Structure 1
Amino acid sequence: MNNSTTLPANTTSTASSVSVVLRICVVTPLFGIFLCFIILMLYTMASRRQFWDNSRYILFTYMLINDTLQLLFTVLLFLFTMTGVRMAIVFCGPLLFISSATYQNTPFILATMSLERYIAICYPLRHQEICRVDRTWVVILALWLTSCIIPTIDFALVGSYSIDVYSTPVTCVTKLLNSSHIQTLFKVTVNALFLALVATVILSTYVRILLKAKRMRSDKAPANKALHTVILHGVQLLLCMMSYTYPVTEGLIVVQVGWLREHISFFNYFCFILLPRFLSPLIYGLRDENLRVHMKGSIQCCSTKINPNASGNKFIK
């Protein structure tokens, strides 16, 4: 009788351990590859002055840094949760703050990049004047401050908790900062307004660029490329919007399909948070011919530094 009761528990524990290991083995290597690719792109743009004189590349660099920070902190939180690491709220709060702020920032960056492409196509003669480098940095600062509104409110309410925020260990998850239904309702409302605004901007820029491309009689390539870029922004925004619906989708799938909630949470985390950030540098970086050429040059430069005898061997031959 004892064997029959302990065996299912052992089996469940083993299955759970295998599931945790598989999740870690999926997320960690992908993040490592993403990080190496991002470092190469940032090194390429930082080492060439021409990229810092163009508002488009500045915004793209900002998106890369934001996505890297977002992935870094979410992967850390993911690993802490999977391995059962618990910490005090005073240490957990900053991790959740940066993770939430960078997450909120992504739709704003997509809308700003769409507006920049709209100005470049529809007002080419005024593009340099409107999208000046100094104005671009001001816009980036405004985007960052706006994205910190919700995390700041969450972080300010930490002092109202009944537990000791300095010594009581807790599991570091986002739900930790949702202390009331009113707070959750406020966050949902603000997120809906932000996403509606961003969706309106992206849709309107898409329509304007589409009409501009149809009116062009020659040299439609820049307009078509900008059109494709705005479409990609829309796809990314759609993925971001899907991540906001996870409380509803988790409940429906658990009831209708019968999947475990932890499996659904990982599916939402991988598809709607990790995957869009993994695709960003591939979508925008590799599509840019100028950046792609310089990245190849950076790889060749690094390989030459690693193997300094390569040129000497060629000379001897």
Structure 2
Amino acid sequence: MWKSSFPPTNSSQESSVSLNITGIRMAVALVIVIFFCFLAYFMTMMLNIYFTSSQIQENARYVLFVHLLISDSLFIMFGVFLLVASIHYLSIPGPVCYILVMMGMVTFKTSPYNLATMALERYVAICFPLHHCMLCSTKRAKIAILVTWMLAFFPHICEIVVLPSLSKKLSALHIMCTQTNVTVHPFQNLIQLLNLVLGFAGVGLIILITYVQIVIVTHKISSQSSLTSKGSRTIILHAFQLCLCMASLLSAYEYKYPYNILNFFIFTCLPRFLSPLIYGLRDEVLRKYIKQTVLKNIHFLKIPVGGK
């Protein structure tokens, strides 16, 4: 009787709180694992569709879209590695850590540059349809992809050239791999800040100009064609994708601290998955191939069940 009247002790309260936190973490981890499995399936399916269809490979629009998929996949891969290294406080050699952080930043910046290129491709297709095949060939699309990677690597090349002591300082370190720990000079922050601000401002300006031009062309046509209406909606989608990239930029500061798994999932992984998913499902050609691939996979899974 007396024992039942005592309030619960601090140790029992702490154990129940710890159990609740553990349960929440396990639930979040399960959701993230399911998400990554679906993400890996979708990315693999889209890449398989691209590399097995000559019709898609000959279209500059889909070349740029597949490049967006690849760069986003690489960004998530480097982000996951840095997340795991941060959670477990792994000590990594300075030069290796710098390369990992650099590749994470480079793959982060290629996506908005790619969006600007895709917006320009739609602008040419609608405003200059007679010159579209010449200006937006697959060869030119691949050259544009090369330019985006050069622009993304440019600030890091400046760091190495302008700061020759950077490699010497990093080579002597074994550090927890975060962006803060590989920043050994204030000039690095200045370069990265200018690059991000100018890059996002330039991409936003390109998307805005192309949208305005497409709207002007749309109003000049007496009966609004499906191509122009789809083109304007595509540019709006690119603007939405840019906003998602900016949401990821907000989480880029998470590199400075031990990673928060939920923030990493919401602000880094989810935007990188939603944009190609929306873009892929709304495209008629890709939607047809996606439907065929999914039905084929479902049929393949049903065969063992039927015993045939």
Counterpart for residue 108 of structure 2: 103
Aligned residue type for 2:288? V
Indicate conservation of the 8 Å contact 1:100/1:151, yes or no: no
Pairs within 5 Å for 1:51-66: 51-66=56-71
Counterpart-to-counterpart distance in 1, 2:122 and 2:20: 49
1:106, distance to aligned residue in structure 2 (A): 1.1
User: 2:285 matched to which residue of 1?
Assistant: 290
1:171 aligns with 2:176: yes
The answer to whether the 8 A contact 1:114-1:230 is kept is: yes
Give the distance between the partners of 1:250 and 1:38, measured in 2 at CA. 25
Deviation at 1:183, TM superposition (A): 1.7
Residue ranges of structure 2 left out of the alignment (5+ in a row): 1-8
Seen in structure 2, the aligned counterparts of structure 1 residues 35 and 155 have a Cα distance that, compared at 3 Å, is farther
The counterpart of 2:271, out of the listed 268, 272, 276, is: 276
Can you give the 5+ residue segments of structure 1 that lack an aligned partner in the other structure? 252-260
* Deviation for aligned residue 1:270: 3.4
1:9 Cα shift? 9.4
Q: CA RMSD in A?
A: 3.5
AA at the equivalent of 1:273: T
Matches within 5 A, 1:85-100: 85-100=90-105
What per-residue deviation string (whole Å, max 9, x for no partner) do you get for residues 231-287 of structure 1?
A: 121122123234445589999xxxxxxxxx868x65653343222201022111000
2:42 aligned with 1:37:
yes
Q: 1:159 aligns with which of 150, 167, 171?
A: 167
Cα offsets for 1:29-86 (capped at 9, x unmatched): 3222111101001101111100111100100011011111111111121122223333
2:229 alignment partner AA: N
Cα deviation for residue 309 of structure 1 reads: 8.4
For the residue of structure 1 that corresponds to 2:199, the secondary structure is helix
Q: Displacement of 1:21 after TM fit? A: 5.0
Cα distance in 2, alignment partners of residues 77 and 285 from structure 1: 28
Moved more, 103-112 or 211-220: 211-220
Which runs of at least 4 in structure 1 moved beyond 3 Å after TM superposition?
Answer: 4-28, 151-158, 242-251, 265-272, 299-313
Q: Deviations over 1:111-133 (max 9, x none)?
A: 00000011111111110011011
Deviates more, 1:8-17 or 1:71-80: 8-17
* Range 298-307 or range 108-117, more displaced: 298-307
SS in 2 for 1:148: helix
Q: 1:299 deviation in Å?
A: 3.2
SS in structure 1 at match of 2:92: strand
**Within 2, Cα distance between the matches of 1:52 and 1:293?**
16
Contact 2:179 2:255 in 1 (8 A): no
Check the 8 A contact 2:251/2:267 in 1, yes or no. no
Q: Distance in 1 between matches of 2:145 and 2:284?
A: 25
Cα shift at 1:200 = 0.6
The equivalences for 1:180-195 within 5 A come to: 180-195=185-200
How much does 1:210 deviate? Answer: 1.2
Residue pairs, 1:64-75, within 5 angstroms: 64-75=69-80
Partners of 1:108 and 1:96 lie apart in 2 by 19
- 2:51 aligned with 1:49: no
- The share of aligned pairs that are identical, in percent, is 30
Residue 223 of structure 1 corresponds to: 228
- Aligned residue type for 1:164: A
| Distance 1:309-1:28 versus aligned 2 partners, 3 A rule | closer
| AA partner of residue 117 (structure 1) | R
Q: How big is each residue's C-alpha offset from its partner over 1:202-252, in whole Å with a ceiling of 9 and x where there is no partner? A: 00001111111222223522211111111121122123234445589999x
Deviation at 1:91, TM superposition (A): 3.0
With normalisation by structure 2, the TM-score equals 0.82
* Deviation string, structure 1 residues 141-188 (Cα, Å, up to 9, x no partner): 1111111123344567541426624xx3x2112222222222212211
Matched, 1:84 2:89: yes
Q: Is contact 2:116-2:203 (8 Å) kept?
A: yes
Query: CA contact under 8 A between 2:218 and 2:229: conserved in structure 1?
Result: yes
